[in-house]
Structure 1
Amino acid sequence: MNFKIVFQIAILLGYAAFFLKSIWNGTVSMYVHPRIIPFLIFAAAAMLVIAVLLLGSIVRGRGEKVSLLPLLFYAIPAIMAFTIPPQSFDSNTATIGEIQLKSGTYGSSNLFSLRETRHKNSQNEMSGLADADTGTNTTPEENPGGTKSMLYMDTDNFVDCMNDVYEDIDSYIGMPIEAVGFVYRDENQFKADEFVTARLMMVCCAADMQPVGFLCRYDKTGTLKADTWVKVDGTIDKTEFSGDTIPYIKVDNVQPAEKPDNNYIYPY
């Protein structure tokens, strides 16, 4: 029996099982962007094929002395994947990048990568604006008779809303906004009455996770616990932050909110 081949087959089957199990139970979203899932399925299928092809070599090389130690470097991560339960990231996770409230940049990712795509699609499909009376999608320029609109930010349009406001802050000043996210506070960057209604943005995988959101000013910020989920109601205004002009939310009310099933958002 060639135990090196047996070990290799076990490792291949272990990784394939982990990929497929994560996809089946939905925990894969804690590790990678959904667009990576087809590649994981392909990788799992390839590993299964290779494992089957290696079956014919199990009884070959009999009596040959081989070292299994190098294979431990592949086996240990597979064992950890099955024994350590997946956990959602929050602002205290060591690998999370720092939030950057600057126009046009959020870490290494291009938050405005949707700009060209958004202009190619209809405004009704991409806008996060809803008319206060009709509930239909609209833009500030389309509001009849100066009817106030409401900017609703949720999982599906969080990035799009940020893109729209950052591209043309002046058009949104004074507009009511409702946003759901977790409380992000940084004593080194923010004043005592400031926090961010944040979401964790994943560009590719968990390694590039970064909190994004609008700066909020609220006279009761001190009562808010970091990483708790809240719904913020207020109006949009602009301010100076670290030498940049950025939008912020003048908060009128903060209410507890439920954590969404998938607390990550994606720029594309």
Structure 2
Amino acid sequence: MLIELKSKDLLCLVKGALYSTLGICILYLIVTNQYKLYVSPRYELFLLLAGIATLCMGILTIAWAPPKQYKHIWKSIIPILLPIVLLVVPPILVPNTIQVQGVGAVTEDRNDFNFSQDDISEVITINNAAKEPGISKSKKEIVLNSDNYYQTIITMGSHPEEYIGYKLYMTGYVNRDDNTLKANEFTVSRMAMSCCIADVAPIGMTMHKDNGDTISNDEWVTIEGSVSTRNFHGRQQPYIEVQKIKNAEPVLGYVYP
């Protein structure tokens, strides 16, 4: 087998090895669920087929390599090598921010809205298991988690007046990138991915809390608030009056449409 490979063209063998490596990298990302750092979950099947096809291409390129040649254009391997480097060394491609920590890390949203152990004037205990995800009109309650986060915010933004007075519970990081924010206002956000890593952007809701300016930027918090509205460039926008707040563990990974 080794003698047979030695008689084949070196450039084709290198290309075959690189194609095979790229296919294995793609399949590894799917198996470990780390592909969600690069593309939306709805592309999982396409990515799986691409990984299998790339691996097969590598094997066939090696198997069908022509006899040894002595003139090679080595720069032709760059288009194959570049994605391998980007996938094998994730910090090059994955945003190195507090909102998405760790390489390939995705953690579950614990939805810990229990404020009973915190030093807050009004002590409440919330039974998470009994909560309906998203918007519950019967309870006048909105609970955001990783699964419904994007859709719930979009729904609220479409008809914010319908949810005035609802209790809202959510976890996210404090974001003050919006230059229209006033004193003691901040945004609680998560990083959203619509298609792929190229379109990652924060999505959240504007909050107000007495002494809100004392909350550190990029700090992860869980809040309980009351939904109201504000006028934002001529249209109504959800506006949350924060009633209770506590520190939270970062929820790693993205939210998706």
Work out whether the TM-score is over 0.5.
Answer: yes
> Residue 142 of structure 2: which of 151, 155, 164 is its match?
151
Give the direction of change, closer, same or farther, for the CA distance of 1:11–1:208 in structure 2 (3 Å limit): same
Task: Judge conservation of contact 2:24–2:55 (CA < 8 Å) in 1.
Answer: no
Distance in 1 (alpha carbons) for counterparts of 2:162 and 2:64: 68
Equivalent runs, 1:228-247 vs 2, <5 Å: 228-247=219-238
> 1:83 corresponds to which residue?
89
Distance in 1 (alpha carbons) for counterparts of 2:141 and 2:90: 43
Unaligned runs of 5+ in 2: 1-7, 101-125
Matched, 1:62 2:62: no
Distance in 2 (alpha carbons) for counterparts of 1:154 and 1:91: 19
> 1:218 corresponds to which residue?
209
Distance in 1 (alpha carbons) for counterparts of 2:190 and 2:99: 13
Task: Judge conservation of contact 2:193–2:255 (CA < 8 Å) in 1.
Answer: yes
Aligned length: 221
Give the direction of change, closer, same or farther, for the CA distance of 1:76–1:139 in structure 2 (3 Å limit): closer
Write out per-residue CA displacement over residues 60-96 of structure 1, whole angstroms, 9 at most, x where no aligned residue: 2433412112212421331342134575664889xxx
Q: Which moved more, 1:158-167 or 1:249-258?
A: 158-167
Matching residue's letter, 1:71:
I
Distance in 2 (alpha carbons) for counterparts of 1:78 and 1:46: 15
Task: Judge conservation of contact 2:205–2:239 (CA < 8 Å) in 1.
Answer: yes
Matched, 1:23 2:13: no
> 1:206 corresponds to which residue?
197
Matched, 1:177 2:177: no
Give the direction of change, closer, same or farther, for the CA distance of 1:49–1:74 in structure 2 (3 Å limit): closer
> Residue 6 of structure 1: which of 13, 35, 60 is its match?
13
Q: Which moved more, 1:214-223 or 1:61-70?
A: 61-70
Task: Judge conservation of contact 2:189–2:203 (CA < 8 Å) in 1.
Answer: yes
State TM-score, norm by structure 2.
0.76
Give the deviation of 1:254 after TM superposition.
1.4
Task: Judge conservation of contact 1:194–1:217 (CA < 8 Å) in 2.
Answer: yes
Percent of aligned positions that are identical: 25
Write out per-residue CA displacement over residues 103-153 of structure 1, whole angstroms, 9 at most, x where no aligned residue: xxxxxxxxxxxxxxxxxxxxxxxxxxxx99x9464843xx3xxxx532111
> 1:128 corresponds to which residue?
none
* 3-state SS of paired residue (2:216): coil
CA RMSD of aligned residues (A): 2.6
Task: Judge conservation of contact 1:169–1:247 (CA < 8 Å) in 2.
Answer: yes
Give the direction of change, closer, same or farther, for the CA distance of 1:219–1:186 in structure 2 (3 Å limit): farther
Distance in 2 (alpha carbons) for counterparts of 1:164 and 1:187: 21
Unaligned runs of 5+ in 1: 94-130
